[in-house]
A and B are shown apart, each in its own frame.
Chain A
Amino acid sequence: GIQVEQSPPDLILQEGANSTLRCNFSDSVNNLQWFHQNPWGQLINLFYIPSGTKQNGRLSATTVATERYSLLYISSSQTTDSGVYFCAVEHGGTSYGKLTFGQGTILTVHP
């Protein structure tokens, strides 16, 4: 099956710093999504991004499907950005609906 690797596994920042999270995947995929899990466990969809670049406020994401990676950029980080960031890929070809998640990046933003 598809392997999904996220880096770094842990990231500690001071408020106001910028960061880049990476998601590598081992095979072609139908789509890719980024999620944030807050400290209370709630999972929120950040981006649905099978290819190209999207921006939403201080967050942006880029997926280069041909090179099998995606990047999540967080600018001017805030303490509320703390939590775990996951990427998830939908398997390619005819495997619609089958999703594999990366193991996550734990982000801690200090005031």
Chain B
Amino acid sequence: EAQVTQNPRYLITVTGKKLTVTCSQNMNHEYMSWYRQDPGLGLRQIYYSMNVEVTDKGDVPEGYKVSRKEKRNFPLILESPSPNQTSLYFCASSLTSYLTGELFFGEGSRLTVL
């Protein structure tokens, strides 16, 4: 089944404890991206990757890191989480890297930072 898989789906952590949210897709997509969703603000892009070893900042990259060492994986790293990073996070992918095609989303990861 074609899908984008995020883990963990739910996480409660404490300020400053490094964490990684994994994202994996099995559709051989070139483009992958991360978003956070907050009430009243819609979805905001954190980082995106047009292909392996190519990453770029979205609108809200502060406090986050990403890497794209393999085509299928695009982990989101919070080196020192803070309470303002409490949010619902989505990973998405699409087939093309030239003019992003139809986006497929993961099921979301709800993160709480205490």
User: A interface vs B, CB < 8 Å?
Assistant: 1, 30-31, 33, 35, 41-45, 48, 50, 86, 88, 90, 96-104
Contacts and interface: CB of A to CB of B under 8 A. Distances in A.
B105 A96 contact: no
Contact of B103 (A45, A98, A104): A45
Contacts of B50: 96-97
B99 A99 contact: no
B48 A98 contact: yes
Contacts of B105: 35, 42-45
A30 B90 CA distance: 22
Contacts, number: 67
Interface of B: 31, 33, 35, 40-45, 48-50, 56, 58-59, 88, 90, 92, 97-105, 107-108
Interface of A is mostly: strand
B107 A99 contact: no
Given A42-B107, A98-B58, A31 B44 contact: no
A97 B48 contact: yes
A75 B31 CA distance: 33
Contact of A33 (B41, B45, B49, B102): B102
Contacts of B59: 1, 100
Contact of A97 (B33, B35, B41, B102): B33
B100 A103 contact: no
B90 A45 contact: no
Contacts of A35: 103, 105
B45 A99 contact: yes
